[in-house]
Amino acid sequence: MKFLLALLITFLTFASAQNQTVRLALDWVPNTNHTGIYVALANGWYEEVGVDLQILPYGSVSPEALVASGQAEVAVSGSEGVLTSVATEEPIVSVAAILSTNTAALAVLKDSGIGRPSELDGKIYAAYGGSYEDAVVGAVIRHDGGVGDFRSALLNVAGFDALLAGRADFVWIFEGWQGVQARREGIELTLFNFNDYGVPDYYTPNLVSSAETIREKADALKAFLGATARGYTYAAENPEEAAELLLETAPAGSFPDPDLVRDSQRFVSQYYIAEGEAWGHQRPEMWRGYQTLLLDAGVYGDKTAVLRRAVEDGSLYTNELLPE
């Protein structure tokens, strides 16, 4: 009887483990920031840990809102998304850093003659519409001795396209995608990397969840992050193979230029994991400097005090769900 009872308990535990649905909301169309997820999916590593992963396509509802409302267990977001969510009382928590460092930069066309950030004063910036953009761009310019007095324009084309069309003088890019794309197309850019011009390093993109999901579905999140860590570790060590798995596993039509994916992967793979750390691990100093810059600039208005407390007490992120 004891044997049968133990067997039944084992069976029920196994059956329960096989029915952990995790819905993942993407922040954009599939790209090399997502490679580790698709690598794990292609290799069946989510199935191995009992996770039924459902990837939700990017849509009109933000990934942060989907997580905060319980329509997704996890999402791809960024440090700014976490702050904004907390400020709007729909708090989310970063549960893993996808990249170990920020690869963002301000970009100008090389033939513009602009050679340093201070020369961006008075120029037109192709904005994306983020509340934090002016604070960050201004910080880069002032760090180089400029005033930080530029014109911000929301255009009806993507920022990088606006730069190429001559409708803007500079734009915020991520070197691992637009930077790689420009090199492939023979477009010469001058880049002012944030990390070199006074903007504290920070994590972006991140995987985020809600406090409620963390409480109620911790086992499912741990299983998901275990398989995901395996995927990103593989991608860090095997960029060529990882790129092919991404191309094969993402929805058909995701990549009009497969070679852009391959070149991007070679660049991005080197930044998934910081030296001496495991994938996904987040350090407190990476959650202080950049966030303090935004708060000091008044980006979040009357929510500044609340957010300062969240930055200081470490509630914006957790490493507890990552594999040991």
Instruction: Report residue 120's pLDDT band, with 50, 70 and 90 as the boundaries.
Output: very high
pTM of the complete model = 0.92
For residue 190, list its beta bridge partners: 108
The whole-number pLDDT of residue 18 equals 58
Q: Is the pLDDT of residue 9 over 90?
A: no
Taking alpha carbons only, the member of 7, 22, 197 closest to residue 107 is 197
Structure-model confidence comparison of residues 15 and 83, the more confident one: 83
So what's the pLDDT on residue 140?
A: 98
Lowest mean pLDDT among 53-67, 145-159, 258-272, 284-298: 145-159
CA count, 13 A, side-chain hemisphere, 49: 22
Domain 18-100+203-313, CATH: 3.40.190.10
Res. 118 pLDDT band, cuts 50 70 90: very high
Average of per-residue pLDDT across 312-317: 96
> Please, which residues have CB within 8 angstroms of residue 28's CB and are 6 or more apart in sequence?
58, 76
Here the tokens at position 79 are 């440090």
Q: What is the mean pLDDT of residues 223-233?
A: 98
* Other residues' Cβ atoms within 10 Å of the Cβ of residue 324: 5
Dump the DSSP string for 80-110: HHHHHHHHTT--EEEEEESSSS--EEEEEEG
Q: Do domains 18-100+203-313 and 104-196 have the same CATH topology?
A: yes
Q: Does the pLDDT at position 151 exceed 80?
A: yes
* Residue 164: pLDDT band with limits 50, 70, 90: confident
For domain 104-196, the CATH architecture is 3-Layer(aba) Sandwich (3.40)
Percent of all residues in the chain with a pLDDT value above 70, rounded to a whole number = 94
Domain range annotation of the chain? 18-100+203-313, 104-196
| 265-310 residue pLDDT tens | 999 999 999 999 999 999 999 999 999 999 999 999 999 999 999 9
Q: Which of 292, 317, 316, 315 is nearest to 305 (CA)?
A: 292
Q: Percentage of the chain surpassing pLDDT 90?
A: 86
**Residue 1 confidence (pLDDT):** 47
pLDDT at 16 over 80: no
Say if residue 116's pLDDT is above 70. yes
Between CA 133 and CA 48 the distance in angstroms is: 41
What pLDDT, in 10s, does the model give residues 181-216? 999 999 999 999 999 999 999 999 999 999 999 999
